[in-house]
Amino acid sequence: MPSCTFALKILPLVTGRFGSRASCPALAAVRALSCTAARCQLHNVKGTGALTGKVDRFGGVTVNLAEIGLPADISEKSFSTLLQDSLLQWKADGKVAVWLRVPISLSRCAAAASTHGFTFHHAKHDHAVLALWLGEGESRLPGFATHQIGVAGAVVDESNGKVLVVQDKNKTKNAWKFPGGLSDPGENIGATAVREVYEETGVRSEFRSLLSIRQQHNHPGAFGMSDMYIICRLSPVTYDINFCTQECLRCEWLDLTELAKTNETTPITTRIARLLLHGLERGFQHVDLTMEELPAVYSGMFYQLYHRQLPPTLKP
């Protein structure tokens, strides 16, 4: 009796948020059957189960399939039936959206959910999150992260007007550029710049300011997503070059005046070289966005804020 076994297994699911809702007919039906406790009678429960979810303040339901006692070997068909019943209930309850958090080992449930209109919202490491909009009109669900953050560091030696530049090993055109790379998850912009400069060139440096931001969509290598490329100004702490031969073909301290006029570079590097020359001559306050750490209003955690420096009289 496979469907009888299935009904037994899903009983633990119909607890939780429906527990205090006397008006829930599915729950009432399941409760009545739980009382009799006879295995064969449970055979008829099919269609009355409902997935247990957490309701958010926007009227969405989140179900974590790892936390609701789902059988590890639940079939796509069985999960589909269970989800269908739950969807009817959620729609009747006026819920506007459903989120399903699916552990990778239960991925077949994602396939089952897709037959009911669910799509992937995102996936990380060992789980995927699917979503279905039940409300009126177009979905108002927030999207997932859209940008990777690339950071480069322009390490300027103010004593001689030189800047640290590299040529990538894997590019067809050998162009001088500032060392840099992608931010790791949770890494601050300045920390990425300092880390990437060290990994590529062996030079230790300190964060000074943010110089420019470039936004680019459908970026090659960003898996169809967008790229935010940020160039920071850094000050050298050490000067000896010991560059990564896996990533770089060449690495040098180059005169900023030379970098500003050479064709052997990219347009953005030329632009930053000009900004840096202007800064060297007139003071970096003319090109910098300075950084400050402030506590977040709600969480109390610190964030980094970058903007033009205010005159001392206007500072907080």
In the region spanning residues 205 to 264, those forming contacts with its own copies, defined by CB under 8 A, are 210-218, 220-226, 228
Catalytic residue among 199, 247, 252, 258: 199
Q: Rounded CA gap, 183 and 187, in Å?
A: 6
**199 catalytic per annotation:** yes
Token match 């990425």: residue?
192
Rank residues 87 and 109 by Cβ distance to its own copies and give the closer one.
109
Rank residues 11 and 222 by Cβ distance to its own copies and give the closer one.
222
Tell me the per-residue interface mask from 61 to 80 with its own copies, x by CB under 8 A, - otherwise. Answer: ---------------x----
Residue among 268, 312, 270 at smallest CA distance from 290: 312
Instruction: Based on the shown chain and the rule CB under 8 A, indicate whether residue 29 belongs to the binding site for its own copies.
Output: no
Rank residues 14 and 151 by Cβ distance to its own copies and give the closer one.
151
143-162: contacts with its own copies (CB under 8 A): 143-149
Q: How far is the CB of 140 from its own copies (least distance, A)?
A: 9
Among 20, 38, 57, 138, binds its own copies (CB under 8 A): 57
Instruction: Based on the shown chain and the rule CB under 8 A, indicate whether residue 126 belongs to the binding site for its own copies.
Output: yes
Rank residues 200 and 288 by Cβ distance to its own copies and give the closer one.
288
- The DSSP letter of residue 56 is P
Q: Rounded CA gap, 245 and 168, in Å?
A: 10
Q: How far is the CB of 160 from its own copies (least distance, A)?
A: 21
The distance from CA 4 to its chain's CA centroid, rounded to whole angstroms, is 42
Q: Rounded CA gap, 200 and 210, in Å?
A: 20
Q: Rounded CA gap, 209 and 89, in Å?
A: 54
The values of phi and psi at residue 249, to 5°, are: -90, -40
- The DSSP letter of residue 88 is H
Which residue stretches of 142-286 are H helix? 189-201, 256-261, 267-282
Q: How far is the CB of 191 from its own copies (least distance, A)?
A: 11
Q: How far is the CB of 24 from its own copies (least distance, A)?
A: 27
Which residues are designated catalytic?
A: 199
